[in-house]
Amino acid sequence: MLLHLGRVLLLVVSSADTAREILKTQDLNFCTRPSLLTLKRLSYNIQDVALAPYNEYWREMRRIFVHKLLSPKRVHSFGAVRAEEVANMVNSISKSCSSMRSVDLAEELLSLTNRVICRIAFGKSYQGRNFDGGKFSEFVHKFMALSGSFSALELHYLKIVVKETLRLHTIAPLLIPRECMNHCKVNGYDISPKTRVMVNVWAIGRNPEYWDNPDMFFPERFEGSSIDYMGQHFEFLPFGAGRRICPAMTMGNLHVELALANLLYCFDWKLPSGMQIEDIDMEEGTGISLHKKSPLLLVPSKYNW
């Protein structure tokens, strides 16, 4: 679909075949980002990896970013940081158990992510801890051992739950906008340079042509399926594809799986009293990334330590 927004041409892609054409076959024509004033304000004059135009500077930045922070070896080396911060989160949540107070999971998980990213990127934490030193180190060792056994076990079901969540509630519903660099043809249509492109992975992820009962949360659909999120299955693109694919897939997934596995292992979760499952408001909020509009409040009822 081509939209004319004043002088701006915007191509919206909502099928897996055309997504493959844009993000793979003709990736080299579409791998730059539009230069928008709002993005410049948000991102140090578009000097960052995600919004920089496709050029030598971006290539070098991305290479350094991947090499220094995101390669499997580097991600593995940050295991102790993840374990410490997950231990902090579990400790903080455990305090709500005895009082049967509800926990705002969005707040807990955002705070966990901020702490992990700060420590990985800047080498230090900006938030205090509530443990005494000896107890903390004992607690972290438990988590490191647990993280090891988690990856060794068949955390298979958890992984397909995460996949199904990324299909239905994909973090970047329109990916990050791209821009056409050279005159080219897509599906027989002429596309001119400067045309903006948005790939609607939200719609593709819910298209009944590719998914049975697309609106149903059914992790088992990934059971025995070869579909993964590495950017080669164009009906499922939670991390995008092509040259601008998310470089932090491994780190992002490991983080989500470890946090979720521990939340489920350490606690039983109940809804606040008087609330039924149907009362959970699943409306999505607006913003740079997709999130639940109202926070998920749950009561942790058992502390498994």
Binding-site annotation: residue ranges: 246
Cβ 202 to ligand HEM shortest distance, Å: 11
Contact between 297 and ligand HEM per CB under 6 A: no
Q: Which stretch binds ligand HEM (CB under 6 A): 8-16, 219-227, 236-244, 270-278?
A: 236-244
**CA 268 from chain center: how many Å?**
25
Nearest-angstrom CA–CA distance, 220 and 243: 30
Rg, Å, the chain Cα set: 21
Q: Which of 251, 259, 261, 266 binds ligand HEM (CB under 6 A)?
A: 251
Annotated binding-site ranges for heme: 246
Contact 181, 30 (CB under 8 A): yes
Question: CA-CA-CA-CA torsion for 296, 155, 239, 21, nearest 10 degrees?
Answer: -130
Give the residue nearest to ligand HEM (CB): 240
Cβ nearer to ligand HEM, comparing 240 with 300: 240
Contact between 34 and ligand HEM per CB under 6 A: no
Contact between 171 and ligand HEM per CB under 6 A: yes
Cβ 237 to ligand HEM shortest distance, Å: 7
What are the CB-based long-range contacts (under 8 Å, 24+) for 1-6? Answer: 2/189, 2/195
Phi then psi dihedrals of residue 243, to 5 deg: -60, -30
- Which residue in 190, 158, 170, 284 sits closest to 235, CA to CA? 170
Residue 266: C-alpha distances to residues 27, 75, 104, 150, 261 (Å): 44, 24, 16, 13, 9
Cβ nearer to ligand HEM, comparing 9 with 176: 176
Nearest-angstrom CA–CA distance, 58 and 32: 10
Cβ 211 to ligand HEM shortest distance, Å: 18
Q: Which stretch binds ligand HEM (CB under 6 A): 92-100, 139-147, 180-188, 234-242?
A: 234-242
Contact between 205 and ligand HEM per CB under 6 A: no
Angle at 158 (CA atoms; ends 171, 268), nearest 5 degrees: 100
Q: Which stretch binds ligand HEM (CB under 6 A): 131-139, 168-176, 179-187, 274-282?
A: 168-176
Q: Which of 172, 174, 203, 271 binds ligand HEM (CB under 6 A)?
A: 172
Q: Which of 140, 198, 248, 259 binds ligand HEM (CB under 6 A)?
A: 248
Nearest-angstrom CA–CA distance, 133 and 142: 15
Contact between 300 and ligand HEM per CB under 6 A: no
Q: Which of 42, 50, 174, 227 binds ligand HEM (CB under 6 A)?
A: 50
Nearest-angstrom CA–CA distance, 232 and 236: 9
Cβ nearer to ligand HEM, comparing 87 with 120: 120
- Return residues touching ligand HEM (CB under 6 A): 49-50, 62, 171-172, 175-176, 238-241, 244-248, 251-252, 256
